[in-house]
């Protein structure tokens, strides 16, 4: 059944993802993990055994790093294996041994065994974590054997901590475990493990022995073993599912779920993220982690905001897409986001808080649940210990004594006014005046002063005006209500005013960011030069983040070059100073460029640097790297700043790619244009070549013909003359073409010398003496013509072409006038004839390249000759023009610049 | 012809030009022989002892310039160089290396024969007695002993430098003299890089010697190469 068949067809997207994954896998090395429930189950032993077996099978395998912990049986397995020497890192005077990534990459074995995947590298190593080293090995196509315990898996970390009470800090992202090609469970029943522990076969550091004794309880071990078995089973399950997808076996429709987890500043969030991740894995769903920044949350202390950042990072490392939203209401933003992104499940935390507060204000959980519609809401409850963090109270502006003095002054003024008006208006209206004063203080000055103003106002009113006067005694209990209203009004108004200011400042900040981005993008679109774009980018970045910024561009081989575009706040944008990039930092930048990932401070790679390097990633390639060394590295920790920075970099990268593409397109255009010129040239000269060749072949074949004996002597001479003339014509044509090629193929090299123009004219006339024999050549050349610095041979050619043209294009016996004249700054030569002149309107076009190509005139070489003249004169910085004379005939005129001083003799 | 027939060695790799030269020279009473490479040319020069060598500047095995230098180590008779157009620099270096004259391809037979005649006459003059003490060319008369130059019987006053230049040109009349050669001869080795001296003195010399200095009859310019005194 066709309908059924189509249902059974594998989802193309899923299949494509699989193929891509497989593709990447053929290039990447394979990762095999020896997986255990707890330390001491024998992972390293199993790994080394496997390594020995590989070695025996002839595989090129080396031991990258193994922690022996003094176990003799494990050590025995190393016998005969190739072991990489560890690198020595010196940190604060202590020499630490560390797996040598670079040495391993250089050695490039087929397989490398590296113990303890979750290990945190010592400072100074390239990556923060060993699993990153392993990733790089895999990228380089090297297979890796490694070991790991269940508590090191990020998403299981908190579960393990709850079971054992021991928090493990060294974790690996789940994706590393999930993407491993093979996971071998090294299983040991808890009793045997405890036995090994008692026999002292498990290495335990002295200082953590007390903590571990609680860790190695049988109950714990059983639970850990269960976790490890389940994690392995999940993997088997995933492999099974993959197989099913591949073979179009689909019983359940699992896809379609999208999970959203709301992250906040409280410690509970981390657990929420892990829970969401487990849920997402179980459902094979996409998942998102979202943080909503409300004006209230903006006031949180730095540590709390850092924790949010950490939680988002954790979520990212667990495979979530993370988002930073901002708005007034957390619930509103979350629901909006969920609807936009088709979320099916929302995970929120339920912090433990007192019941009465719940009654007073709806919690986030309630709000989300109420508005979620058809979206499922999962509530994860917190533990009593994990108290939520409350945003601090609104900052008390104007806490200094001046503000309070102002409050006192306002109340004093009101009191004076009241004293004047007393008896004339009613007491209740006097109260209104006091209220007005309190409102003023609350709105303009602040909360504390407003409370002071309220108390003072109430006291003054009571003491001075409420009967009995000059006493705090109150005759009428109703005045108590008046007092309460005055104080409450002060509090409410001051709170609202403060909040309004807060919101305005948030809005201002956001506006500033938007404006910055807009300004950048506008400047970027106006420029067409990549270094210039780099300068713009650095200028905008240091305007936002105080520090030094630089754009590093690669050479053709992809090596980043020392930068020339450097910008620090306060320096002119175009200052060309060598940016102080130490050799090491250039390496960090190169890494960012090669891997298209950020590196340096605040990233996972080479975080010990004090600058961050962001790749300028465009759609098709990485353009270069932005280096930023902030004066205060803390600035990079602020998520908004980081986002802004990344937006800047992205915009610039796209602009730069656009410029690159435009340049490529332009080069292609130029090539096309020159191809067109070439074909025009070919078309135009083929005619000029064929005509004389036809005459030559015709004349010579006639002479060689047997019947040629019939020709009389004069006729034979005539044919021979024709052959010679046509050959001369071909020679001129070839010469012109060669000259033109030489003159237009690159910069013209002029051999400038002092030259006497009269002498050159004389030489040309001598060369043309036969052709000009019948002509009246009129010369007007002053005897004291100054010498001119020019290329003698080239200028002779100009004269030759112009005089020959005058001779060829005019009737025999018509005169030719040649004049030379020195003006203050130029030397001008004029060649005039009395011929038919130039076609009207074409006086200037005669110098254009292949001008004659349009019309096939009888005389050949005309167009090229004049183009050569113009090229030569232009190269000398002179001018050439043609015009028709009023009395008939054409006149060509060229001028060459004269030197200010003639040479001394 | 009673005159001993002059032997001409042609060093030229193009067979068509060889053929044309051979035909033209034979029909005018010369005895040509041909070499298609520089090495063969050098070998034939020792073997045949030609009266004139015509050498192409572009040869397959070695540069024509090297051929001239090697020949000039022992060969004292005239060498005429063949070159393509726009190789002014090559012509000048060939002349400086010891060639007597050059011909730019393509050239006609008339031009070739004229150059050969000039070269051979110089050879015989050099072989014969010292330069004559008096020469008459057209309307010009030069008395070397009296350092006197006349045009149509009228004395022409030349400055010492003009006279030196004039004598240098006329002694090798018909032969092109490079700028360097003339500068060294007239002004001394220190001034070979000051060609504007030549331009200025040539102009004043022309104004004194020529009827129409702008269209000279005697003092000819070889643009980019040098000057020659028109022969005959």
* CA-based radius of gyration for chain A: 45
The answer to whether residue A2 scores a pLDDT higher than 50 is no
As a whole number, mean pLDDT of residues A645-674 equals: 83
Q: d(Cα A552, Cα A590) in Å, to the nearest integer?
A: 9
As a whole number, mean pLDDT of residues A641-668 equals: 84
Q: Is the peptide bond before A468 cis (omega within 30 degrees of 0)?
A: yes
| Cβ pair A759:B203 closer than 8 A | yes
As a whole number, mean pLDDT of residues A161-179 equals: 80
The answer to whether residue A893 scores a pLDDT higher than 90 is yes
Please report residues of B whose CB lies closer than 8 A to that of A696: none
Interstrand relation of B140-143 and B148-151 (parallel, antiparallel or unpaired): antiparallel
Q: d(Cα A740, Cα A310) in Å, to the nearest integer?
A: 70
A459-488 burial, b at 16+ Cβ within 10 Å, e below that, comes to: ebbbeebbeeeeeeeeeeeebeebbeebbe
The answer to whether residue A753 scores a pLDDT higher than 50 is yes
pLDDT-based confidence at A10, cuts 50/70/90?
A: low
As a whole number, mean pLDDT of residues A683-705 equals: 82
| Cβ pair A766:B223 closer than 8 A | no
Among the partner-chain residues B197, B213, B223, the one whose CB lies closest to the CB of A763 is: B223
Q: Which two tokens stand for residue A210?
A: 């007390």
Name the strands in the sheet holding B140-143, side by side, starting at the edge strand that comes first in the sequence: B134-137, B140-143, B148-151, B154-156
pLDDT reported for residue A858: 42
pLDDT reported for residue B205: 93
B203 vs A154, which has greater pLDDT? Answer: B203
pLDDT reported for residue A484: 82
| Cβ pair A787:B200 closer than 8 A | yes
A358 vs A318, which has greater pLDDT? Answer: A318
* φ/ψ of residue B225, rounded to 5: -120, -60
Instruction: List all residues 6 or more positions away from B185 whose beta carbon is below 8 Å from its beta carbon.
Output: B164, B168, B177
Instruction: Choose among A31, A97, A99, A40: nearest CA to A74.
Output: A40
Among the partner-chain residues A739, A787, A796, the one whose CB lies closest to the CB of B223 is: A796
Secondary structure class of A819 (helix, strand, coil):
strand
pTM to 2 decimals? 0.47
pLDDT reported for residue A573: 44
Average pLDDT, chain A: 79
Please report residues of B whose CB lies closer than 8 A to that of A787: 196, 199-200
Considering only residues 90 to 109 of chain B, which have any Cβ-Cβ distance to chain A shorter than 8 Å?
106
pLDDT reported for residue A798: 92
Among the partner-chain residues B199, B214, B215, the one whose CB lies closest to the CB of A787 is: B199
Q: Is A714 exposed, middle or buried (0-12, 13-18, 19+ CB in 10 A)?
A: exposed
* φ/ψ of residue A551, rounded to 5: -110, 125
Q: Nearest chain A residue to B196 by CA: give it.
A: A754
CA distance, residue B214 to nearest chain A CA (Å): 5
pLDDT reported for residue A40: 81
pLDDT reported for residue A542: 80
A300 vs A773, which has greater pLDDT? Answer: A773
| Cβ pair B221:A762 closer than 8 A | yes
pLDDT reported for residue A246: 60
pLDDT reported for residue A568: 56
| Cβ pair B214:A781 closer than 8 A | yes
Planar angle of CA A488, A492, A495, nearest 5 degrees: 140
Instruction: Choose among A296, A294, A289, A285: nearest CA to A272.
Output: A289
pLDDT-based confidence at A648, cuts 50/70/90?
A: confident
A269-295 burial, b at 16+ Cβ within 10 Å, e below that, comes to: bbbbbbbbbbbbbebebbbbbbbbbbb
The answer to whether residue A574 scores a pLDDT higher than 70 is no
B157 at the A interface (CB within 8 A)? no
As a whole number, mean pLDDT of residues A450-466 equals: 83
Q: Nearest chain A residue to B206 by CA: give it.
A: A759
pLDDT reported for residue B80: 93
pLDDT reported for residue A17: 66
Residues of chain B under the 50 pLDDT cut: 1-2, 129
| Cβ pair A777:B215 closer than 8 A | yes
Q: Which residue has the tokens 């230098």?
A: B69
Q: Nearest chain A residue to B199 by CA: give it.
A: A756
A137 vs A476, which has greater pLDDT? Answer: A137
pLDDT reported for residue B183: 92
B interface test, pick of A738, A766, A796 with most B CB neighbours within 10 Å: A766
A interface test, pick of B180, B217, B223 with most A CB neighbours within 10 Å: B223
Q: Which pairs from A189-198 meet CB under 8 Å and 24+ separation?
A: A189/A225, A190/A218, A190/A221, A190/A222, A190/A225, A191/A218, A193/A38, A193/A40, A193/A41, A193/A221, A194/A218, A194/A221, A196/A40, A197/A40
Q: Nearest chain B residue to A777 by CA: give it.
A: B215
User: Percent of chain A having pLDDT more than 90?
Assistant: 8
ipTM of the complex: 0.87
The answer to whether residue A3 scores a pLDDT higher than 50 is no
As a whole number, mean pLDDT of residues A621-649 equals: 80
| A378 secondary structure, DSSP code | E
pLDDT reported for residue B182: 93
pLDDT-based confidence at A564, cuts 50/70/90?
A: low
As a whole number, mean pLDDT of residues A687-716 equals: 83
Q: d(Cα B197, Cα B183) in Å, to the nearest integer?
A: 8
Per residue in A247-269, pLDDT (tens digit) is 554 443 334 678 889 888 777 78
B209 at the A interface (CB within 8 A)? no
pLDDT reported for residue B41: 93
CA distance, residue A877 to nearest chain B CA (Å): 21
B interface test, pick of A763, A771, A776 with most B CB neighbours within 10 Å: A763
pLDDT-based confidence at A389, cuts 50/70/90?
A: very low
Q: Which two tokens stand for residue B112?
A: 């070739």
B interface test, pick of A725, A762, A795 with most B CB neighbours within 10 Å: A762
- Half-sphere exposure at residue A169, Cβ-oriented, CA atoms within 13 angstroms: 3
Number of cross-chain residue pairs from A and B with Cβ atoms under 8 Å apart: 66
pLDDT-based confidence at A857, cuts 50/70/90?
A: very low
A513 vs A436, which has greater pLDDT? Answer: A436
Q: d(Cα A149, Cα A171) in Å, to the nearest integer?
A: 10
Q: d(Cα A665, Cα B31) in Å, to the nearest integer?
A: 65
User: Percent of chain A having pLDDT more than 70?
Assistant: 83
| Cβ pair B213:A755 closer than 8 A | no
Q: Is A666 exposed, middle or buried (0-12, 13-18, 19+ CB in 10 A)?
A: exposed
Among the partner-chain residues A731, A742, A762, the one whose CB lies closest to the CB of B214 is: A762
Alpha helices for A284-426 (secondary structure H)? 295-298, 302-317, 330-340, 355-360, 364-371, 401-421
Q: Which two tokens stand for residue B200?
A: 């200025």
Q: Which residues of A touch B (CB under 8 A)?
A: 727, 731, 735, 738-739, 742, 753-756, 758-763, 765-766, 777, 779, 781, 783, 787, 792-793, 796, 903, 905
SS (H, E, C) chain B: CCCCCCEEEEECCCHHHHHHHHHHHHHCCCEEEEECCHHHHHHHHHHHCCCEEEEECECCCCEHHHHHHHHHCCCCCCEEEEECCCCHHHHHHHHHHCCCEEEECCCCHHHHHHHHHHHHHHHHHHHCCCCCCEEEECCEEEECCCCEEEECCEEECCCHHHHHHHHHHHHCCCCCEEHHHHHHHHCCHHHCCCHHHHHHHHHHHHHHHCCCCCCCCCEEEECCCEEEECCC
Q: d(Cα B220, Cα B224) in Å, to the nearest integer?
A: 12
């Amino acid at each position: 059944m066709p309908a059924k068949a189509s249902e059974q067809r594998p989802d193309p997207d899923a299949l494509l993802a699989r193929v891509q994954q497989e593709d990447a896998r053929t290039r990447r090395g394979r990762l095999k993990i020896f997986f255990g429930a707890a330390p001491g189950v024998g992972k390293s032993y199993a790994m080394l055994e496997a390594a020995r077996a590989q070695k025996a099978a002839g595989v090129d395998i080396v031991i990258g790093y193994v922690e022996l912990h003094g176990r003799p049986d494990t050590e025995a397995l190393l016998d005969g294996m190739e072991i990489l020497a560890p690198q020595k890192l010196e940190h604060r005077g202590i020499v630490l041994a560390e797996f040598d990534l670079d040495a391993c990459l250089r050695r490039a074995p087929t397989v490398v065994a590296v113990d303890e995947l979750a290990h945190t590298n010592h400072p100074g190593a390239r990556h923060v974590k060993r699993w990153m080293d392993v990733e790089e090995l895999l990228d380089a196509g090297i297979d890796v054997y490694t070991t790991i315990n269940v508590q090191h898996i990020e998403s299981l970390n908190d579960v393990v901590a709850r079971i054992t009470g021991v928090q493990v800090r060294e974790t690996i992202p789940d994706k590393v475990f999930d993407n491993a090609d093979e996971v071998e469970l090294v299983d040991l029943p808890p009793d045997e493990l405890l036995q090994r522990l008692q026999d002292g076969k498990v290495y335990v550091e002295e200082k953590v022995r007390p903590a571990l004794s609680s860790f190695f309880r049988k109950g714990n071990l059983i639970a850990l073993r269960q976790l490890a078995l389940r994690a392995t089973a999940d993997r088997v399950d995933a492999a099974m599912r993959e197989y099913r997808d591949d073979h179009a076996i689909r019983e359940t429709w699992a896809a379609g779920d999208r999970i959203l987890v709301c992250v906040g500043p409280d410690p509970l969030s981390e657990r929420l993220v892990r829970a969401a991740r487990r849920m997402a894995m179980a459902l094979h769903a996409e998942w998102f982690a979202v943080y909503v920044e409300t004006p209230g949350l903006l006031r949180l202390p730095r540590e709390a905001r850092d924790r949010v950042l950490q939680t988002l990072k954790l979520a990212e490392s667990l495979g979530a897409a993370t988002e930073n939203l901002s708005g007034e209401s957390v619930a509103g933003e979350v629901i909006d986001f969920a609807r936009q992104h088709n979320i099916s499940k929302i995970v929120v935390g339920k912090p433990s808080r007192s019941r009465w507060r719940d009654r007073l204000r709806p919690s986030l959980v309630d709000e989300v649940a109420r508005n979620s519609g058809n979206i499922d809401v999962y509530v994860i409850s917190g533990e009593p210990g994990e108290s939520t963090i409350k945003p601090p109270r609104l900052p008390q502006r104007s806490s200094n004594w001046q503000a309070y003095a102002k409050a006192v002054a306002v109340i004093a003024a009101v009191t004076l006014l009241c004293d004047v008006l007393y008896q004339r208006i009613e007491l209740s209206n006097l109260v209104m005046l006091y209220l007005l004063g309190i409102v003023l203080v609350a709105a303009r000055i602040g909360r504390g002063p407003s409370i002071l103003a309220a108390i003072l106002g109430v006291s003054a009113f009571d003491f001075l005006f409420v009967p009995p006067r000059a006493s705090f005694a109150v005759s009428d209990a109703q005045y108590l209500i008046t007092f309460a209203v005055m104080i409450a009004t002060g509090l409410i108004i001051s709170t609202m005013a403060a909040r309004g200011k807060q919101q305005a400042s948030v809005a201002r900040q956001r506006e500033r960011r938007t404006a910055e981005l807009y300004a950048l993008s506008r400047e970027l679109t106006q420029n067409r030069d990549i270094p210039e774009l780099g300068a713009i980018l650095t200028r905008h970045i240091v305007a936002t983040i105080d520090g030094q910024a630089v754009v590093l561009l690669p050479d053709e081989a992809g090596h980043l070059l020392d930068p020339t575009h450097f910008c620090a706040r306060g320096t002119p944008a175009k200052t060309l100073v060598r940016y102080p990039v130490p050799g090491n930092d250039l390496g960090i930048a190169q890494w960012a460029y090669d891997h298209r990932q950020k590196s340096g401070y605040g990233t996972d790679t080479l975080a010990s640097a004090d600058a961050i390097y962001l790749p300028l990633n465009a759609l098709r390639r990485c353009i270069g790297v932005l280096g930023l060394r902030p004066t205060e590295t803390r600035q990079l920790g602020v998520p908004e700043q980081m986002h802004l920075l990344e937006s800047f970099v992205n915009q610039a990268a796209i602009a730069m790619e656009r410029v690159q593409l435009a340049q490529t397109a332009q080069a292609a255009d130029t090539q096309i244009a020159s191809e067109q010129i070439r074909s025009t040239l070919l078309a135009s000269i083929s005619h000029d070549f064929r005509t004389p060749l036809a005459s030559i072949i015709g004349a010579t074949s006639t002479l060689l013909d047997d019947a040629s004996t019939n020709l009389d002597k004069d006729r034979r001479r005539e044919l021979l003359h024709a052959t010679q003339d046509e050959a001369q014509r071909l020679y001129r044509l070839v010469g012109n073409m060669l000259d033109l090629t030489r003159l237009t193929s690159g910069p013209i090299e002029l051999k400038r010398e002092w030259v006497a123009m009269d002498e050159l004219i004389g030489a040309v006339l001598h060369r043309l003496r036969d052709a000009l024999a019948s002509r009246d050549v009129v010369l007007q050349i002053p005897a004291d013509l100054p010498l001119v610095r020019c290329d003698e041979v080239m200028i002779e050619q100009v004269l030759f072409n112009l005089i020959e043209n005058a001779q060829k294009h005019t009737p025999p016996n018509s005169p030719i006038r040649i004049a030379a004249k020195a003006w203050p700054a130029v030397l001008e030569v004029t060649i005039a004839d009395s011929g038919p002149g130039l076609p009207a309107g074409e006086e200037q076009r005669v110098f254009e390249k292949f001008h004659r190509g349009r019309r096939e005139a009888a005389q050949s070489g005309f167009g090229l000759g004049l183009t050569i003249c113009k090229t030569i004169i232009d190269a000398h910085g002179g001018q050439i023009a043609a015009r028709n004379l009023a009395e008939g005939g054409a006149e060509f005129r060229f001028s060459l610049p004269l030197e200010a001083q003639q040479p001394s003799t | 012809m009673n005159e001993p027939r002059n032997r001409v060695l042609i060093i030229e790799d193009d067979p068509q030009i060889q053929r044309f030269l051979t035909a033209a020279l034979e029909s005018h009473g010369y005895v040509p022989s041909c070499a298609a490479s520089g090495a063969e040319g050098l070998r034939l020069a020792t073997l045949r002892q030609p009266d004139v060598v015509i050498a192409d500047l572009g040869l397959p095995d070695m540069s024509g310039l090297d051929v001239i230098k090697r020949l000039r180590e022992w060969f004292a008779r005239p060498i005429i160089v063949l070159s393509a157009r726009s190789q002014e620099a090559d012509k000048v270096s060939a002349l400086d290396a010891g060639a007597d004259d050059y011909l730019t391809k393509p050239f006609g037979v008339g031009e070739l024969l004229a150059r050969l005649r000039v070269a051979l006459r110089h050879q015989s003059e050099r072989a014969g007695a010292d330069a004559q003490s008096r020469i008459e060319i057209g309307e010009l008369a030069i008395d070397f002993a009296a350092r006197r130059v006349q045009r149509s019987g009228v004395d022409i006053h030349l400055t010492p430098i003009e006279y030196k230049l004039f004598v240098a040109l006329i002694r090798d009349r018909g032969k092109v003299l490079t700028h360097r050669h003339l500068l060294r001869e007239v002004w001394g080795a220190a001034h070979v890089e000051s060609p504007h001296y030549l331009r200025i003195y040539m102009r004043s010399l022309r104004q004194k010697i020529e009827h129409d200095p702008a269209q000279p009859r005697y003092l000819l310019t070889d643009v980019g190469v040098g000057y020659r005194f028109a022969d005959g």
